[in-house]
Amino acid sequence: MAPRWPRLQPFGEGALLVELAARPSVPTARRVAALAAALERLPGVQAVVPAAVSVLILGEGVSEAGLASALSQSQPLRWRGRRQRIPVRFGGLEGPDLAEVAALAGLTPEKVIRLLTSRVFTVAFLGFAPGFPYLLGLPRRLAVPRLATPRPRVPAGSVALAGGWLGIYPQETPGGWRLVGRTSHSLFDPSRTPPALLAPGDRVQLQAT
């Protein structure tokens, strides 16, 4: 029997998880964004955390009627995201995992770079660190696993792959994604308005430099 969506379930104390689909996709990301916006207006909601296929609601006293209304009224957003071109230096010290990613995919490093620069990715949501974009559109054969042991330090601007996602590290942080390149673009700057370079719905194309 096929699962029915959306699915609601308690998530610890004072939280509720709303799942909208089984797998990430651009249409699902639009639904997640729309539902998150609708839920933020509900009385009793303290915080809303959108993810790939779900929305986490934090707060006590959220009524079932209000939640049902938000679910029924939230239509997938018609994203009018910006087109962003991001220069990337692939391989070498900037992308130390490029050769291993290529080996896992059964490709040459050059072919991996061509695949990554020929795609237009879509920002599904931001998470993990301020301004960190989770990008949809990675070719299936590049859906490589995370590193067995995360790095204690990943440089800011690192372009990375893990589990079907492409991401770009905004700051230097620990991380277990596989690094294929690095950009000089600043993904997050608190003095900028808005501070995050990318937003959900933005379309991103990587350019090899």
CB 159 within 8 A of CB 181: yes
Per-residue pLDDT, 180: 98
CB 129 within 8 A of CB 173: yes
pLDDT band at 31 (very low <50, low <70, confident <90, very high): confident
**Positions of E strands within the chain:** 7-10, 15-19, 47-50, 54-58, 83-90, 121-126, 133-136, 151-154, 158-162, 165-168, 173-175, 178-182, 203-208
Options 3.30.1360.40, 3.90.105.10, 2.40.110.10, 3.50.50.60; CATH for 7-73 is: 3.30.1360.40
pLDDT exceeds cutoff 70 at 3: no
The pLDDT tens digits of the residues spanning 156-177 come to 999 999 999 999 999 999 999 9
Kindly list the distances between the CA atom of residue 86 and the CA atoms of 110, 129, 207, in Å, as whole numbers in the listed order. 18, 19, 6
For 12, half-sphere exposure in the C-beta direction (CA atoms, 13 angstrom radius) is 6
Per-residue pLDDT, 12: 78
pLDDT exceeds cutoff 60 at 1: no
Q: Label the pairing between strands 83-90 and 203-208.
A: parallel
For the domain covering 83-208, report its CATH number: 2.40.100.10
Q: Can you read off the two tokens belonging to residue 154?
A: 């990943």
Neighbours of 71 (CB within 10 A): 17
The pLDDT tens digits of the residues spanning 47-79 come to 988 899 999 998 876 766 777 777 777 776 666
Predicted TM-score (pTM) of the model is 0.85
Q: Where are the domains of the chain?
A: 7-73, 83-208
Element (H, E) at 53: none
Per-residue pLDDT, 154: 98
